[in-house]
A and B are shown apart, each in its own frame.
Chain A
Amino acid sequence: MSNNRPRSSGQTQKSNASAQQPNAAATKKSASSQRFAERQAAKQQAAREERRGRTRTYGIVTIALVVLVVAVLVIVKVAGGGGSSGVVDVPSPPAGTPIPAVTLAKLQSVPVSTLTAAPTGGILTTPQSVNNPALTADGKPELLYIGAEYCPHCAAERWPLYIALSKFGTFKPQPGRIHSANEDGDVPTLTFYGTTYTSPYFTFTPVEVYTNRPAGNGYAILQAPTQAQLTLWENTNGGEFPFVDFGGKQVLPSAQYSFADLQNLPFSAVAAQVGNNSTSIGADIDASAAQLITTICGSLSKHQPAAVCSAVHSG
């Protein structure tokens, strides 16, 4: 027994040693694979960090690009590029910018009953009777309008004039959209320059004497009135804008209402109020148009068309 113990002990140690050999190998292998796993994890972490850094760079570059685009837009504007009527006085094209058909259709179709129902509190001037020789053109009574594209009073007057004229005939091409000069109210309006108006009742002769483009101490000339027109205009209202002569029977020596409310407004904002008598702009334009229709019926169209003229008289 006693001999067995050391032997047994030696055998145990031997067997332990032989048993530990695979464990050590396993441990060594495990440590190795752990180091490998750690190295892999570190690599993956580094790759993740690198990817994140790259993504962050993309993000910062994107933000910088957006800031750059906004800055360029503002700089181009401040430098005066791209057309500005807020800072630099940039004129409209003489024939104007095309007006959407739906807007024109709305202006043309305001019922006469709505126009006649408009409050007249904002009306400053009404057509006045005169004893001038009959004004005719092309064998018909003539409606002569003399204005200027820079003129804010003319800008205000063209709105009711277009509405009224649309009840008696048609424009081709339709008027474009302009604004009075920036230094003169920047009033949105239409222009009769470059248009032709056809009516079975009378001839409409528009003369836009100046553009809204500054030139020298005034504005660039657009259309020169004939000598007869000039004489009539100067003798009747001293050559002031606007001037409207209804066949020599009546004249409008100045705009019917104040342009003050229309200053700086976009064209669409004014157009939206036409036919709406609850706003001052809508009421002024509508009431002015009703007066013009009444005058045209009495002076130029012999109360035709009946549907229009009877409506305005009954109103």
Chain B
Amino acid sequence: MPRWPGLVGTVLSVLGLGVAGYLTYEHFTSSSTLACSDNGVVNCLKVTTSSYSEVAGVPVAVLGLVFFAVMLVLQLPPMWRRPEPAVRWGRLAWAVVGLGTVLYLLFAELFEIDAICLWCTAVHVLTLVLFGTTVFATSSYPAPVAVDA
């Protein structure tokens, strides 16, 4: 197993954690200081205050924070070296969860809210790239072999 999946995954997860953390902070502070354009197609406020900004009462920004926190653990280089199938498949499944959420939110932004939030787009891109690297690395490299003590 090469080292790049763990390194790339860790860096992407940390970046995602940072952006999701910022969006969470803005969610709980009235979004008035959100550094983003607010006219035309790009309108962060319209997106982050829409009905799609919460799922069952839980802010989507918080869900993003949880997603990247778990993903960070799963993407750490030592986790990529673990031979257990549960880790390998769990990481892949978590990436698929992220992908599904991103596609849903992207659809909502484009066709329901009629506005794009740049910060949300950054999270979406990070999630999509994480999905891509996770799928590529999982499908390209065999699971590490367990070494008996």
Contacts and interface: CB of A to CB of B under 8 A. Distances in A.
Question: Do A and B truly interact?
Answer: yes
Interface stretch (A82-90, A121-129, A300-308): A82-90
Given A63-B136, A268-B51, A73 B107 contact: yes
A269 interface: yes
Nearest to A84: B114
B113 A70 contact: no
Interface string B110-123: 11011110000000
A266 B128 contact: no
A28 interface: no
In the complex, which of the residues B38, B111, B113 has the most CB atoms of chain A within 10 Å of its own CB atom? B111
A251 B46 CA distance: 34
Given A62-B135, A70-B128, A73-B110, A264 B39 contact: yes
A77 B139 contact: no
Interface string A220-264: 000000000000000000000000000000000000000000001
B139 A58 contact: yes
Contact of B111 (A59, A77, A269): A77
Contacts of B40: 86-87
A262 to B, nearest CB: 11
A170 to B, nearest CB: 25
Interface in A272-315: 272, 279
A66 B132 contact: yes
B135 A264 contact: no
A152 B91 CA distance: 49
Contacts of A59: 135-136, 138-140
B134 to A, nearest CB: 9
Interface string B48-81: 0111000000000000000000000000000000
A62 B99 CA distance: 12
A82 B46 CA distance: 18
Interface of B, secondary structure class, is: helix
Given A62-B135, A66-B128, A70-B128, A268 B49 contact: yes
B132 A86 contact: no
A212 to B, nearest CB: 14
A86 B139 contact: no
B142 A52 contact: yes
B43 interface: yes
Nearest to B49: A269
Interface residues of A, number: 29
B91 to A, nearest CB: 13
Contact of B131 (A58, A60, A66): A66
Contact of B140 (A52, A264, A265, A269): A52
A52 B137 CA distance: 11
Contact of A82 (B41, B106, B111, B116): B111
A266 B136 contact: no
A31 interface: no
A74 B116 CA distance: 11
B47 to A, nearest CB: 8
A299 to B, nearest CB: 36
Nearest to A77: B110
A272 to B, nearest CB: 8
Contacts of B107: 73
Contacts of B132: 63, 66
B126 interface: no
B45 interface: yes
Interface string B19-58: 0000000000010000000111101011001110000000
Nearest to B139: A59
A14 interface: no
- The 3 A-B residue pairs with the shortest CB-CB distance, nearest first, are A59-B139, A269-B49, A86-B114
11 contacts: A48-B142, A56-B136, A59-B135, A73-B107, A84-B114, A264-B38, A265-B46, A265-B49, A268-B49, A268-B51, A269-B45
Interface of A: 48, 52, 55-56, 58-60, 62-63, 66, 69-70, 73-74, 76-77, 82-87, 264-266, 268-269, 272, 279
